[in-house]
């Protein structure tokens, strides 16, 4: 730790002495700001009772959160005052930024010098983003004082959708663990938390009208072992979030200007649903039997029946659950839905005839478009994986592309919005290349690791995309699937610093990207993450916080056997 403090101190002295030195050698902000210029004034020293001044009620919440964060980082008391403070937050309605309104909403100007720090923005969201930059500019001297170099930062994001996805269905994460994940997203200016809540292996959200979704669907009797996916551990596993817990998480994210996008899978990846309510499955196929909640990974053949009973069930779910999520988007999955059961189901075949559908791919398209209308009626927009274009893509759907870029082109040409999440590059469940052999089972057997430079050098906008289609690329997100991520320590190890690299892809100007420059900033950014005890993957492959458990976390509540037998 003393070494880190010394490095930071030398960095601060260099800022004062050599203002002409290139910016990136002096500060280590990730994601890299659009424009950062060093000033000639001495650093601004923080006092033992630093104040944050704000006279606007809209900015008070940001100031209070900022006060807690700076007190936590520096150990010095930081308070909010109505008068001018050492730090001032100011809303500037006249601030203009080239581009759409959402970009203006998130932009900010941070000025430090002459004994004062100011963050000005068009909205509280911009002020919050500026605060994240300020935290990274804090430098501790050898004597223990804290200072901020003289700088002027004029900053705004490149992409509208800057997301991270957390799968809590394969392995469950507590509300505290989810909050921690959201905190780390906020530090890197992410604004979308994609919450994968339902799967073959578990349903994780309380639905009072359908209690068996959690009494049965939230629990499986065993799971694949971490060392060998073909073997079972024999340990009951499960968990779910109450609606009150969901509300609390959504509010927590909103306070950090992060929108929660829930994912409720359909028509495939629904084994937990059908185990809970078998009548929603394709019960008319030969030799059909109700399934149990899935205990293996991979693609499971069960799909929802495309009948009226299913759509009424989904309508009831939407009416109860969607009010928990005030954001405009709802993710419905739509991927990896095997068609074998529909091919064998007289009811599914009859639906195809009634609606003049040529094949089961068109049946899935019809299913998805009907769901989209249900969501639209409830004020929501549909997002789905790129399989939703099979059989015909709705012109108003947003497509999340997890295959290669060729899967994005048809939708973009049609004018659909697209979010890029290509596997393996943005799949953070893929192994870290340098992981020591002493840490086994870090990803699917046979999958290739993904390095941080692969993430950093990814470009979301497809090559040669016509200029009038570029704005349809909303952005991208990192996907954290959890078949082999079973604890908070393992989650952080896999997500960071690859998540740091992606944040720069999504926030910073394309023309300013430079891998070597990023590597120069990374060590000091890692020191910043150390203040928050983040268990990121160090460059030698070892976990940053070896004291944090990397072992599987058990989520096997009492009476699991009784829950599995609920009728």
What CATH number does the domain containing 81 carry? 3.30.379.10
Q: Are 407 and 386 in contact (CB under 8 A)?
A: yes
Name the domain boundary from 155, 188, 204: 155
DSSP conformational letter for 384: E
In whole angstroms, what is the distance from residue 246 CA to residue 258 CA?
A: 14
**CB atoms closer than 10 angstroms to residue 523:** 13
Same domain, 173 and 127: no
Name the domain boundary from 444, 465, 486: 486
In whole angstroms, what is the distance from residue 499 CA to residue 30 CA?
A: 10
In whole angstroms, what is the distance from residue 241 CA to residue 262 CA?
A: 13
Confidence (pLDDT) at 95? 86
Same domain, 309 and 444: yes
Q: Are 494 and 449 in contact (CB under 8 A)?
A: no
pLDDT at position 414 over 60: yes
Tokens describing residue 358: 């040529």
Confidence of residue 144 (pLDDT cuts 50, 70, 90): confident
- Between strands 259-266 and 192-196, the pairing is parallel
Report if residue 550 sits inside a domain.
Answer: no
SS3 (DSSP) at 473: strand
SS3 (DSSP) at 372: helix
Strands (DSSP E) found in 226-321: 237-238, 259-266
pLDDT: which is higher, 441 or 280:
280
Same domain, 217 and 102: no
Same domain, 148 and 185: no
Least confident of 11-25, 320-334, 357-371, 497-511: 11-25
Same domain, 221 and 301: yes
Beta-carbon contacts of 287 under 8 Å, excluding residues fewer than 6 positions away, are none
Confidence (pLDDT) at 215? 96
Confidence (pLDDT) at 227? 78
**CB atoms closer than 10 angstroms to residue 324:** 18
Report if residue 519 sits inside a domain.
Answer: no
In whole angstroms, what is the distance from residue 15 CA to residue 20 CA?
A: 9
Confidence of residue 445 (pLDDT cuts 50, 70, 90): low
Instruction: Identify the residue whose tokens are 């196929």.
Output: 285
Average confidence (pLDDT) over 526-539: 94
Average confidence (pLDDT) over 190-211: 98
pLDDT at position 564 over 70: no
Same domain, 129 and 191: no
Q: Are 196 and 178 in contact (CB under 8 A)?
A: no
Report if residue 383 sits inside a domain.
Answer: yes
Same domain, 217 and 80: no
Confidence of residue 446 (pLDDT cuts 50, 70, 90): low
Confidence (pLDDT) at 229? 83
- The CA-based angle 495-63-182, given to 5 degrees, is 20
Q: 45 has which bridge partners?
A: 147
Average confidence (pLDDT) over 58-83: 92
Work out the mean pLDDT of the chain and round it to a whole number. 90
When divided into structural domains, the chain yields a total of 2
| Residue 118: domain span | 2-155
In whole angstroms, what is the distance from residue 383 CA to residue 417 CA?
A: 9
Q: Are 195 and 321 in contact (CB under 8 A)?
A: no
CATH, residue 347 = 3.20.20.80
pLDDT at position 96 over 90: no
Report if residue 534 sits inside a domain.
Answer: no
> Cα 375 to the chain's mean position, in Å?
22
Same domain, 143 and 181: no
HSE value, Cβ hemisphere, 13 Å, CA-based, for 422:
16
Least confident of 18-27, 75-84, 283-292, 310-319: 18-27
Query: 26: closest CA among 523, 519, 18, 34?
Result: 18
Average confidence (pLDDT) over 313-337: 97
In whole angstroms, what is the distance from residue 147 CA to residue 74 CA?
A: 10
Confidence (pLDDT) at 26? 57
Walk across the sheet containing 146-148 and list its strands.
44-45, 146-148, 139-140
In whole angstroms, what is the distance from residue 328 CA to residue 318 CA?
A: 13
Tell the burial category of 55 from Cβ atoms under 10 Å away from its Cβ (0-12, 13-18, 19+).
middle
Instruction: Identify the residue whose tokens are 């099979």.
Output: 390
Confidence (pLDDT) at 7? 36
Kindly report whether the peptide bond that precedes residue 473 is cis, defined as omega within 30 degrees of 0. Answer: no
Same domain, 213 and 349: yes
The 10s digit of each residue's pLDDT in 453-487 is 999 999 999 999 999 999 999 999 999 999 989 89
Same domain, 112 and 148: yes
Tokens describing residue 187: 């530090």
Same domain, 93 and 14: yes
Confidence (pLDDT) at 218? 97
Considering the entire predicted model, what is its pTM? 0.92
The 10s digit of each residue's pLDDT in 246-258 is 999 999 999 999 9
**CB atoms closer than 10 angstroms to residue 135:** 18
Same domain, 196 and 69: no
Report if residue 520 sits inside a domain.
Answer: no
Least confident of 202-216, 348-362, 374-388, 551-565: 551-565
Report if residue 343 sits inside a domain.
Answer: yes
The 10s digit of each residue's pLDDT in 349-369 is 999 999 999 999 999 999 999
Tokens describing residue 23: 């910016």
Report if residue 359 sits inside a domain.
Answer: yes
In whole angstroms, what is the distance from residue 97 CA to residue 105 CA?
A: 9
pLDDT: which is higher, 130 or 19:
130
- Between strands 116-121 and 108-113, the pairing is antiparallel
Q: Are 305 and 352 in contact (CB under 8 A)?
A: no
In whole angstroms, what is the distance from residue 486 CA to residue 443 CA?
A: 11
Report if residue 215 sits inside a domain.
Answer: yes
Confidence (pLDDT) at 444? 60
Confidence (pLDDT) at 512? 87
Number of H helices, E strands in the chain: 18, 22
Q: 385 has which bridge partners?
A: 400
Q: Are 331 and 166 in contact (CB under 8 A)?
A: no
Q: 381 has which bridge partners?
A: 329
Average confidence (pLDDT) over 429-433: 87
Name the domain boundary from 135, 155, 175: 155
Instruction: Identify the residue whose tokens are 């893929």.
Output: 430
Sign, CA dihedral 350-356-359-360, equals negative
SS3 (DSSP) at 481: coil
């Amino acid at each position: 730790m003393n070494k880190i403090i010394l490095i930071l101190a030398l960095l601060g002295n260099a800022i004062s002495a050599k203002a002409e030195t290139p910016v990136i050698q002096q500060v280590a902000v990730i994601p890299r700001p659009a424009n950062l210029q060093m000033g000639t004034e001495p650093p601004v020293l923080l006092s033992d009772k630093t104040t944050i001044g704000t006279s606007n009620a809209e900015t008070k919440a940001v100031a209070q959160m900022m006060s807690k964060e700076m007190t936590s980082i520096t150990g010095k008391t930081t308070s909010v005052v109505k008068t001018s403070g050492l730090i001032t937050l100011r809303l500037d309605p006249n601030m203009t930024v080239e581009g759409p309104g959402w970009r203006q909403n998130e932009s900010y100007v941070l000025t430090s010098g002459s004994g004062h720090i100011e963050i000005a923005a068009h909205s509280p969201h911009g002020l919050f983003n500026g605060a994240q930059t300020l935290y990274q500019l804090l430098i501790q001297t050898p004597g223990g004082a804290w200072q901020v170099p003289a700088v002027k930062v004029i900053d705004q994001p490149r992409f509208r959708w800057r997301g991270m996805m957390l799968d809590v269905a394969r392995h469950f994460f507590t509300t505290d663990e989810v909050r921690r994940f959201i905190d780390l997203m906020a530090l890197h200016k992410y604004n979308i938390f994609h919450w994968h809540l339902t799967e073959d292996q578990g349903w994780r959200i309380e639905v009072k009208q359908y209690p068996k979704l959690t009494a049965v669907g939230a629990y499986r009797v065993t799971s694949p072992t971490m060392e060998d996916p073909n073997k079972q551990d024999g340990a009951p596993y499960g968990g779910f979030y109450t609606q009150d817990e969901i509300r609390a998480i959504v509010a927590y994210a909103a306070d950090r200007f992060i929108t929660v996008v829930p994912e409720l899978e359909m028509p495939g990846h629904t084994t937990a649903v059908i185990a809970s309510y078998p009548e929603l499955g394709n019960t008319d196929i030969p030799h059909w039997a109700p399934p149990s909640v899935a205990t293996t990974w991979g693609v499971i053949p069960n799909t929802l029946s495309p009948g009226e009973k299913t759509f009424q069930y989904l309508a009831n779910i939407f009416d109860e659950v969607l009010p928990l999520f005030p954001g405009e988007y709802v993710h419905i999955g739509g991927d990896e839905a095997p068609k074998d059961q529909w091919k064998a189901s007289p009811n599914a075949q009859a639906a195809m005839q009634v609606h003049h559908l040529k094949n089961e791919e068109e049946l899935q398209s019809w299913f998805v478009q009907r769901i989209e209308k249900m969501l639209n009626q409830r004020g929501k927009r549909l997002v789905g994986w790129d399989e939703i274009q099979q059989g015909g893509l709705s012109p108003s759907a947003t497509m999340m592309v997890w295959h290669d870029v060729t899967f994005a082109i048809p939708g973009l040409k049609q004018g659909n919005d697209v979010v890029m999440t290509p596997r393996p590059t943005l799949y953070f469940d893929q192994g870290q290349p340098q992981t020591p052999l002493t840490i086994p089972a870090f990803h699917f057997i046979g999958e290739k690791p993904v390095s941080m430079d692969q993430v950093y050098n990814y470009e979301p906008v497809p090559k040669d995309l016509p200029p009038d289609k570029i704005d349809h690329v909303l952005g991208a997100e990192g996907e954290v699937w959890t078949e082999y991520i079973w604890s908070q320590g393992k989650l952080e190890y896999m997500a960071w610093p690859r998540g740091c690299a992606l944040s720069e892809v999504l926030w910073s100007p394309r023309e300013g990207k430079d891998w070597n420059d990023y590597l120069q900033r990374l060590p000091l950014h890692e020191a910043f993450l150390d203040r928050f005890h983040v268990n990121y993957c160090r460059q030698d492959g070892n976990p940053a916080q070896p004291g944090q458990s990397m072992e599987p976390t058990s989520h096997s509540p009492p009476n699991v056997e009784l829950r599995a037998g609920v009728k």
